[in-house]
Amino acid sequence: MNVYQHSGEDCGVRITAADRSAIIIRSNQLIRALLSDTADPNDLFLCLSALSVCLHVLFQYFILQVCIGISAAMLSRLSTSVRPCVSVCRWVHTKEKGKPLMLNPRTNKGMAFTLKERQILGIHGLLPSKIETQDTQAMRFQKNLKKMSDPLQKYIYLMGIQERNERLFYRVLMEDIEALMPIVYTPTVGLACTQYGHIFRRPKGLFISIKDQGHVRSILDNWPETTVKAVVVTDGERILGLGDLGVYGMGIPVGKLCTDNEVESYCCGILFSVQTYITFLLRDPFYMGLYQRRDRSQRYDDLIDEFMEAVVDKYGQDTLIQFEDFGNHNAFRFLKKYREKFCTFNDDIQGTASVALAGLLAARRVVGKPITEHKVLFLGAGEAALGIANLIVMAMMEAGMSQAEARKKIWMFDKYGLLVKGRAYETDSNQEAFVHPDPGEVKSFLDAVNVIKPSAIIGVAGAGRLFSHDVIRAMGSLNEHPIIFALSNPTAKAECTAEDAYSLTQGRCLFASGSPFAPVSLEDGRILTPGQGNNAYIFPGVALAVILSGVRHISDTVFLEAAKTLADQLTDEELSQGRLYPPLSNIREVSLQMAIKVMQYVYSKGMAFRYPEPVDKEAYVRSVVWNINYDSFLPEIYDWPGVSHSPVVD
């Protein structure tokens, strides 16, 4: 490593041309004297000492000239430096410098490396001469983004930024979160998953195949980061409302981690490559998994077991494992199996439930009646519906209602019809709590609305526009302020549009969707902004609180607390605009407040294992969250005042 300064700066060695000539002449004289046959042996020591001084001075001078003349890349091979300085000692312990530092997205700053950093790190000359600010870099990327109209192209471009410069990526994302969240997350991430092999640029996360059984730990050892606090894992079987996408489902863990990086610790996305049963993927030449049918044998369960044990063995018992987009049957099975043994939750069941309940709790301020007086009809009876239903029951029980009475308030309608006793199609064991006596002739969802007379309908079927105009009008006739949640993703799978919901109820409905819809202008001049029931309101804050407090088992009550916290952050002004959730532009602050509240809750309930407990939890949370500002790579240099380096004279 070589540290040097540009011309005009003090280089620490001052030798004039006359001095240099005099030193060279004197050196020649000393050398001739040493080589002379008549040299007095008593003078040899003095000659050698004098010559060494001359050569030392000349050596300093000529090395300086070499430093100025040749490239920094060549100089990095030198094992000595002209000037002893603190930075040399400091950077001995640095793992990365030179080109690898620029290739690592966590440390790369592009042209924002300062001149001193470029010199110290051995990257001077590897970058253009201009030194930019992060403001200029962000402006460049924002300008390029505005030139693009295709969401998939924007996704590819943004992922490219993340692959090169992580802090700049989060800077760009946070400055226009409402516009870019739908690109890096739902709905565009769904499109990206369907095209994942076609737009593939660089691998992200870990891929564990069914063929790797018995070797999962060695695969985890290949992950470059030694400290992992959170893992997002999927097997790709139920990607949003798109179904089984196999290995292409890796876009989901990647997208989740784009919004989950609130804590300055490392996360990892993992996909189990147990293949797919979708024929067109098995015929796709760009498919990135093995060309075989999805393995549903005992080998699959054994692989998941091995993975869970390997994660805690390598990273610790309190490592958060977040399950994403598993098929309905496996999602409930694994949640029940692992929740008391590991620090884990299923975002599709518990995260969706929390954000949906938050919307219902916010709606109380308009409807004017407590949660216990609501009757909810679901379109869909899978993991999302059951997760929401169970959390609503918990909220009703907290308000004083018995579990049995609360469950009577919940109805479900799936592809076979209303969940009622004695129907021809079997119900899943997870659905049994919401199977009721047959209320009468119900052949369609519209019939179910008219017979059950719900105050809220929640769509999580992923089957498209099944909240028909007649269904929406019926809800408007039954309720002064009907609650209509079309939560299926992506946008094409939503049960209805915001425009239909508002216009067909004369703007009286309280609407939320899973994917974003644009504001709606009504005939009376009002402009209503639909709420987006996005899980991103929940899992970053919950994950941050869980990691910081050392929770080892995540109770459903944590998600109930998260729902109440989210609902409380909605202002009256935002509610008057039609929103049921805070604007996405505030999501970072929402996540921080949720982390603070959830931390307070888990410590009060004895769920936390990290002690001593932080006294000021808000200050503690804010001190560890992700910082988009660049770090300085300059070593710490300081003096030792009052210290003498000369020997003590008696």
Q: Report helix, strand or coil for 36.
A: coil
Q: Output DSSP code: residue 369.
A: S
On whether the CB atoms of residues 229 and 291 are closer than 8 A, the answer is no
Is 379 contained in some domain?
A: yes
Which uninterrupted H or E stretch holds 321? strand 320-323
Instruction: From residue 317, give the alpha-carbon distance in Å to each of 17, 233, 340, 341.
Output: 69, 17, 12, 9
Same domain, 149 and 260: no
Calpha distance 346→324 (Å, rounded): 6
Same domain, 132 and 200: no
Each residue of 171-213: pLDDT tens digit? 999 999 989 999 998 889 989 999 999 999 888 889 999 999 9
Mean pLDDT of the chain: 85
Same domain, 176 and 232: no
Give the residue numbers of the binding site for (S)-malate.
238, 489, 534
* Marked catalytic residue, from 229, 256, 409, 493: 256
Instruction: From residue 625, give the alpha-carbon distance in Å to each of 170, 260, 373, 540.
Output: 12, 11, 40, 11
Same domain, 518 and 412: yes
Each residue of 592-646: pLDDT tens digit? 999 999 999 999 999 999 999 999 999 999 998 878 899 888 888 888 998 888 8
Calpha distance 189→34 (Å, rounded): 80
pLDDT for residue 82: 32
Instruction: Supply φ then ψ for residue 382, to 5 degrees.
Output: -95, -155
Instruction: From residue 182, give the alpha-carbon distance in Å to each of 158, 169, 248, 332.
Output: 12, 15, 19, 28
Q: Report helix, strand or coil for 635.
A: coil
Picking from 285, 312, 346, the residue at the C-terminal end of a domain is 346
Beta 344-346 vs 417-418: how paired, if at all? unpaired
Give the residue numbers of the binding site for a divalent metal cation.
324-325, 348
Is 404 contained in some domain?
A: yes
Domain count of the fold of the chain? 3
pLDDT for residue 59: 47
Same domain, 460 and 502: yes
Instruction: Supply φ then ψ for residue 118, to 5 degrees.
Output: -60, -40
Calpha distance 514→516 (Å, rounded): 7
On whether the CB atoms of residues 232 and 322 are closer than 8 A, the answer is yes
Q: Which of 103, 109, 74, 55 is nearest to 2 (CA)?
A: 74
Same domain, 119 and 203: no
pLDDT for residue 557: 97
| 449 Cβ contact partners less than 8 Å away, ≥ 6 residues apart | 377, 457, 471, 474, 475, 478
Is 39 contained in some domain?
A: no
Q: Which of 628, 623, 629, 631 is nearest to 548 (CA)?
A: 623
CA-angle at 392, arms to 449 and 372, nearest 5° = 75
Is 2 contained in some domain?
A: no
Same domain, 450 and 524: yes
- Tell me the CATH number at 245: 3.40.50.10380
Same domain, 418 and 524: yes
Same domain, 365 and 339: no
Q: Output DSSP code: residue 491.
A: G
Give the residue numbers of the binding site.
238, 324-325, 348, 489, 534
On whether the CB atoms of residues 321 and 260 are closer than 8 A, the answer is no
Q: Residues for the chain: how many in total?
A: 650
Regions of the chain with pLDDT less than 50: 1-15, 44-46, 57-94, 263-265
Instruction: Supply φ then ψ for residue 21, to 5 degrees.
Output: -65, -45
Q: Is 256 a catalytic residue?
A: yes
Calpha distance 213→234 (Å, rounded): 16
Is 408 contained in some domain?
A: yes
Which uninterrupted H or E stretch holds 415? none
- Tell me the CATH number at 136: 1.20.1370.30
On whether the CB atoms of residues 248 and 281 are closer than 8 A, the answer is yes
Is 490 contained in some domain?
A: yes
Picking from 493, 517, 536, the residue at the C-terminal end of a domain is 536
Q: Which of 324, 328, 394 is nearest to 559 (CA)?
A: 394
Same domain, 268 and 152: no
* Residues facing residue 493 across a β-bridge: none
* Marked catalytic residue, from 170, 185, 581, 603: 185
pLDDT for residue 609: 95
**Containing structural domain, residue 426:** 351-536
Quick one: how far is CA 296 from the chain centroid?
Answer: 30
pLDDT for residue 40: 54
3-state SS string over 537-596? HCHHHHHHHHHHHCCCCCCHHHHHHHHHHHHHCCCHHHHHCCCCCCCHHHHHHHHHHHHH
pLDDT for residue 70: 31
pLDDT for residue 10: 41
Q: Where are the alpha helices (DSSP H) in 368-468?
A: 383-398, 403-407, 445-452
Is 361 contained in some domain?
A: yes
User: Tokens in use for 559?
Assistant: 């998600």
Same domain, 259 and 355: no
Is 143 contained in some domain?
A: yes
Q: Model-level pTM?
A: 0.81
Picking from 328, 346, 364, the residue at the C-terminal end of a domain is 346
Q: Output DSSP code: residue 350.
A: I
User: Tokens in use for 488?
Assistant: 């299926």
User: Tokens in use for 146?
Assistant: 């505005």
- Tell me the CATH number at 421: 3.40.50.720
Same domain, 242 and 275: yes
